[in-house]
Amino acid sequence: MEFKDYYKIMGVEENATREEIKKAYKRLARKYHPDVSKAEDAEEKFKELGEAYEVLGDADKRQEYDELRKLGASGAGGEFRPPPGWESATHFSDTDTGEFSDFFTSIFGREGGFHRSYQRGQARSFDMRGEDIHANLSLFLEEVHAGTKKVLELRVPVVDEQGLVSHKPRKLRVKIPAGTAEGQQLRLKGQGAPGIGNGGPGDLIVTVNIAPHPLYTVQGRNLSLVLPLAPWEAALGAKLDVPTPAGKVKLSVPAGTQAGARLRLKGKGLPGKTPGDLFAVVKIVMPEESTGTARELWGKLAEEVTFNPRPNWQD
Amino acid sequence: MSKTYEPETIEQDQGYTVQEVCHRYCLESEFVIKCVDFGITEVSGSSKAESLLIPVESASRMAKAWRLQRDLGLDFTGLAIVLDLLDEIDQLNGQVETMARRLRDWEG
């Protein structure tokens, strides 16, 4: 297994004092706490940090670790093995839930618990309802628009006879109703963590997130998309086919439409009790080059039409 | 895995009693009441603890508060400030993403 350099993880020297280690923990805990940090590996880093502090913050465990560092065999590729016959002298008394890395358990064994693991849960009494499990599910806009069935992959806490908690993978297929909005929470009753004693299981709460779409921007149940128009279309009006998640829809652009105008297609957003709307936001786009006849026509327009686009500028 | 589960949609105005929150999120009632006192969570219903209803969204917020207190040693005043700031950061990030998207669409 891979050797874990707890000193490197905590960013401290091997001769760091207890105070320095404590300060380092506090600083990094604030940085990596999964409720604060947006980094994808925050939870993993926080867990690693907690394990490192569990060892380096305790004089006895630190001493064992330091000895092992010197005596343990290291093979090619950083493979680590404790010396043959190694037995840890350090005992835990806490039975809080937690998961150790293989490296940690190879040195200190599996007994006891881990105080600073990022786990919900406290010491349980008997006959307690299981916790709710929370999961996030990212979907494409088309999937939430039409509704879909998705397989969720979860890690569900399982308590063994000794009261130790481990996590087992579990898959379940969930129907996502059409029109589920961004941030919407869905509850699957009884699919959460198992209860203790006669306590029933918790629920599974799924929060739906909608992945960014190349065309549409989502705001609640409303959608918006950019509607590029040629200058003459904006000036004269136009009848266009506008894409919506349910297919193309005819839109009449009124004559004299300004850039930035929001044209509403009622009910063409995400479905629901109150369906959302689709807003087509006008953007005037110029042709790349105006040569020949086109240039002549522009020139005539410039001569014939009195229009000041910059009324607020002083001469 | 042949079964397909049909979930129930959690509406914004749904709420949990204090007892339900404690069971679902493995929190102690004292902690929940303190969160109410410090404004960390919204409530509806009468002032009696047994009649309080806590919106589902607020319940998640309280679980976050508990983790922050456990892991970072924050007191309740600190928790209230930190949670408000985290919410504001999320909101601002959302606005920045929307504006960046609009800018890309306009410039594109």
* Å between A12 CA and nearest CA of chain B: 20
Torsion on CA atoms A213, A215, A221, A227, rounded to nearest 10: 160
Q: What's chain B's length in residues?
A: 108
Residue A129 near residue B23, CB atoms below 8 Å: yes
Beta bridge partners of A276: none
Q: How do strand B8-10 and strand A249-253 relate by DSSP bridges?
A: unpaired
| 3-class state of residue B17 by DSSP | coil
Q: Please tell me the distance from the alpha carbon of residue A15 to that of residue A162, in angstroms, as a whole number.
A: 38
Residue A96 confidence (pLDDT): 39
pLDDT category, A111, cuts 50, 70, 90?
Answer: very low
Domain definitions of chain A by residue range: 6-108, 133-210, 217-304
User: Given a cut of 60, is residue A123 above it in pLDDT?
Assistant: no
Pull the structure tokens for residue A229.
């128009």
CATH (one of 1.10.10.10, 1.25.40.80, 1.10.287.110, 1.20.120.530) for A6-108: 1.10.287.110
Q: How do strand B4-5 and strand B8-10 relate by DSSP bridges?
A: unpaired
Lowest mean pLDDT among A75-84, A173-182, A235-244, A303-312: A75-84
* Å between B88 CA and nearest CA of chain A: 12
Interface check for B86 against chain A (CB to CB < 8 A): the answer is yes
User: Given a cut of 90, is residue A131 above it in pLDDT?
Assistant: no
User: Given a cut of 80, is residue A166 above it in pLDDT?
Assistant: no
Longest dimension (CA), chain A: 98
Pull the structure tokens for residue A210.
């909608």
Query: Residue B92: in which H helix or E strand, if any?
Result: helix B76-107
Q: What proportion of chain A, given as a percentage, has pLDDT over 90?
A: 55
Stretch A20-39: mean pLDDT? 92
CATH (one of 2.60.260.20, 2.60.120.260, 3.30.390.30, 3.20.20.100) for A217-304: 2.60.260.20
Residue A288 confidence (pLDDT): 85
For testing contact with chain A, the best of B24, B27, B71 (most A CBs within 10 A): B71
pLDDT category, A226, cuts 50, 70, 90?
Answer: very high
- pLDDT tens for residues A177-223? 999 988 899 999 999 888 877 788 889 999 999 998 999 999 889 99
Residue A191 confidence (pLDDT): 92
* Å between B9 CA and nearest CA of chain A: 5
pLDDT category, A114, cuts 50, 70, 90?
Answer: very low
pTM over 0.90: no
pLDDT category, B47, cuts 50, 70, 90?
Answer: low
* Å between B35 CA and nearest CA of chain A: 17
Which fold would CATH assign to domain A133-210?
Answer: HSP40/DNAj peptide-binding domain (2.60.260)
pLDDT category, A141, cuts 50, 70, 90?
Answer: very high
User: What is the rounded radius of gyration, in angstroms, for the C-alpha atoms of chain A?
Assistant: 31
- List all residues of chain A from 145 to 204 with a beta carbon under 8 Å from chain B: 149, 151, 171-177, 180, 184-189, 191, 202-203
Pull the structure tokens for residue A179.
């029109």
pLDDT category, A77, cuts 50, 70, 90?
Answer: low
Residue of B nearest to A26 (CA): B72
Numbers of helices and strands, H then E, in chain B? 4, 4
Beta bridge partners of A133: A204
User: Given a cut of 60, is residue A249 above it in pLDDT?
Assistant: yes
Of residues A145, A228, A142, A151, the one with CA closest to residue A181: A145
Does residue A289 or residue A279 have the better pLDDT?
A: A279
Residue A303 confidence (pLDDT): 94
10 Å Cβ neighbour count for A17? 10
Does residue A101 or residue B4 have the better pLDDT?
A: B4
Of residues B31, B65, B105, the one with CA closest to residue A283: B105
| 3-class state of residue A73 by DSSP | strand
**What is the CATH architecture of B15-107?**
Orthogonal Bundle (1.10)
Residue A262 confidence (pLDDT): 95
Mean pLDDT score of chain A, rounded to an integer?
84
Does residue A75 or residue B58 have the better pLDDT?
A: B58
Does residue B56 or residue A259 have the better pLDDT?
A: A259
Place of tokens 């980094």: A39
Stretch A275-291: mean pLDDT? 91
Interface check for B95 against chain A (CB to CB < 8 A): the answer is no
Domains A133-210 and A217-304 share a fold: yes
User: Given a cut of 90, is residue B103 above it in pLDDT?
Assistant: no
Interface check for A261 against chain B (CB to CB < 8 A): the answer is no
* Å between A2 CA and nearest CA of chain B: 27
Domain definitions of chain B by residue range: 15-107
For testing contact with chain B, the best of A22, A118, A132 (most B CBs within 10 A): A132
Stretch A212-240: mean pLDDT? 94
In chain A, where do the E strands start and end? Answer: 73-74, 80-81, 133-139, 148-159, 165-176, 185-188, 204-210, 217-219, 222-229, 238-242, 249-253, 262-265, 278-284
Interface check for B29 against chain A (CB to CB < 8 A): the answer is no
Is A33–B71 a contact, with Cβ atoms under 8 angstroms apart? yes
Single-letter code of the amino acid located at A15: N
Q: Please tell me the distance from the alpha carbon of residue B9 to that of residue A30, in angstroms, as a whole number.
A: 34
Query: Residue A50: in which H helix or E strand, if any?
Result: helix A42-56
Which residue among B1, B25, B64 sits closest to A131, beta carbon to beta carbon? B25
